[in-house]
């Protein structure tokens, strides 16, 4: 098990380029099952979750070549509905993304329960209801068994705005006979990436980026060459790292078109940046003062479906708030365990009141002190890295393999920005 040893209090300086969007790479890899022709994906992040997804689709008979670490040639020339490895499925949530394309292409899949971060219950009902609406038969006996004898287009109203359920519904619908409408669809950048890839492969998806997608089924898809966009979660993590260390950095190819709402939220925390083309510049001079609501009321930062503030950035925002003057309430109604990492920030000196599993109040600014901690999940783990970069003294973060699942070579990138961070393997 690897750990990070971080000597904090050093302002970051320089340029950094984020990796490709993990949450786009995973469904795009699954989408390659929908065609018998080769597909090339570029800017694929070198992270653990992507490697596991690659192993899963290889187990179905897919050929994968990597001429460069971030370029994948995928050829699903002949796939077979083999029962997937339970251990691999247990490691990532995204294993469920194989259901849509496999049901659409070969009409069968046996899927062990998916795993992923331990942040509370993550229901799969929405996926099942969407696929059943298209004509799939699904049963559960220690594993999900999907079967279909041809899918038919349908009007699908998702019972919640689930990202992965939207992706499964899209991938199943593109080969279904007739027209499908997906309402209450999620619209995150990675869903838009999936739609653009599928259209490049010959699908007919319209209203991309909205919460109502129209899909005309086609008989077959062809190959394509597609570049994955920047990971906006990594971009904002670097913004937060610069802010809490009082550093000055430029983030290259940041995908600034997706950051409007995130920018509004971070401006309320006193964190600003400049857009320079598709690059993002974070100055060292930051206000770091929480903007109160009208009449001086304590503001609330809520997570909501895109294009509102995303749940995956809540942990980063909380760390930024510990270094901003004022009081703010954070509310994440999506996951009941998202806030539990705040006890580690309290141990470092942060003034945080955990109101309940979904809400916490942060009073800042408070200087943080080094601590020994363990990463509980991807996003909280990265938040602890930011806290350690800000803290006085030498912090140790164990179980950083969790962070590696979602962030590409984050320790190397931080070292290039001047951070004193070392990766060590525990015996």
Which residues are known to be catalytic? 117
Cα separations in angstroms, 254 against 190, 217, 424: 14, 34, 29
What HEC string does 8-45 produce? CCCCCEEEECCCECHHHHHHHHHHHHHCCCCEEEECCC
Note if the bond before 307 is cis, omega within 30 degrees: yes
- CA geometry: angle at 412 spanning 409 and 413, to 5°? 85
* Residue 252: CB atoms within 10 Å: 15
Q: Would you say 241 and 389 are in contact if contact means Cβ atoms under 8 Å apart? A: yes
Q: Would you say 224 and 39 are in contact if contact means Cβ atoms under 8 Å apart? A: yes
Residue 413: HSE in the Cβ half-sphere, 13 Å Cα cutoff: 22
Q: Would you say 253 and 18 are in contact if contact means Cβ atoms under 8 Å apart? A: yes
CA dihedral 338, 344, 348, 350 (to 10 degrees): 30
> Rounded to an integer, what distance in angstroms lies between the CA atom of residue 427 and that of residue 424?
10
Q: Would you say 2 and 167 are in contact if contact means Cβ atoms under 8 Å apart? A: no
> Rounded to an integer, what distance in angstroms lies between the CA atom of residue 256 and that of residue 195?
19
**Sequence-ordered strand ranges (E) for 48-136:** 63-68, 71-75, 108-111
């Amino acid at each position: 098990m690897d750990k990070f040893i971080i000597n904090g209090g050093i302002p970051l300086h320089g340029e950094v380029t984020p990796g490709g969007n993990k949450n786009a790479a995973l469904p795009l890899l699954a989408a390659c099952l929908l065609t018998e022709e080769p597909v090339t994906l570029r800017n694929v992040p070198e992270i653990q979750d992507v490697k596991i997804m690659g192993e899963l689709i290889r187990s179905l008979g897919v050929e994968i070549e990597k001429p460069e670490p971030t370029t994948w040639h995928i050829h699903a020339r002949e796939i077979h509905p083999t029962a997937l490895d339970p251990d691999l499925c247990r490691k990532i949530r995204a294993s469920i993304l194989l259901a849509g394309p496999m049901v659409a292409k070969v009409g069968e899949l046996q899927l062990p329960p998916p795993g992923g971060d331990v942040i509370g219950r993550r229901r799969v009902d929405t996926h099942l209801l969407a696929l059943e609406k298209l004509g799939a038969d699904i049963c559960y006996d220690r594993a999900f068994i999907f079967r279909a004898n041809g899918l038919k287009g349908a009007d699908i109203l998702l019972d919640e705005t689930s990202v992965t359920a939207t992706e499964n519904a899209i991938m199943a619908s593109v080969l279904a006979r007739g027209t499908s409408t997906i309402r209450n669809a999620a619209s995150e950048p990675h869903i838009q990436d999936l739609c653009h890839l599928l259209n490049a492969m010959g699908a007919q998806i319209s209203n991309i980026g909205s919460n109502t997608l129209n899909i005309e089924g086609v008989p077959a898809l062809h190959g394509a060459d597609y570049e994955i966009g920047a990971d906006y979660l990594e971009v904002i993590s670097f913004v937060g790292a610069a802010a809490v260390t009082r550093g000055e950095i430029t983030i290259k190819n940041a995908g600034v078109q997706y950051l409007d709402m995130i920018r509004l939220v971070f401006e309320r925390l006193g964190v600003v940046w400049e857009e320079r083309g598709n690059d993002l510049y974070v100055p060292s001079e930051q206000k770091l003062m929480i903007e109160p609501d009208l009449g001086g009321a304590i503001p609330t930062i809520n997570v909501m479906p895109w294009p509102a503030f995303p749940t995956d950035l809540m942990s980063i925002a909380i760390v930024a708030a510990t270094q901003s003057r004022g009081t703010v309430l954070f509310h994440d109604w999506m996951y009941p365990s998202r806030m539990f990492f705040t006890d580690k920030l309290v141990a470092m000196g942060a003034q945080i009141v955990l109101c309940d599993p979904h809400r916490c109040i942060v009073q800042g600014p408070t200087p943080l002190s080094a601590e020994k901690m363990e990463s509980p999940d991807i996003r909280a783990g990265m938040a602890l890295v930011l806290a350690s970069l800000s803290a006085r003294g030498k912090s140790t973060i164990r179980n950083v393999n969790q962070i590696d699942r979602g962030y590409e070579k984050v320790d190397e990138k931080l070292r290039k920005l001047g951070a004193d961070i070392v990766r060590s393997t525990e015996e």
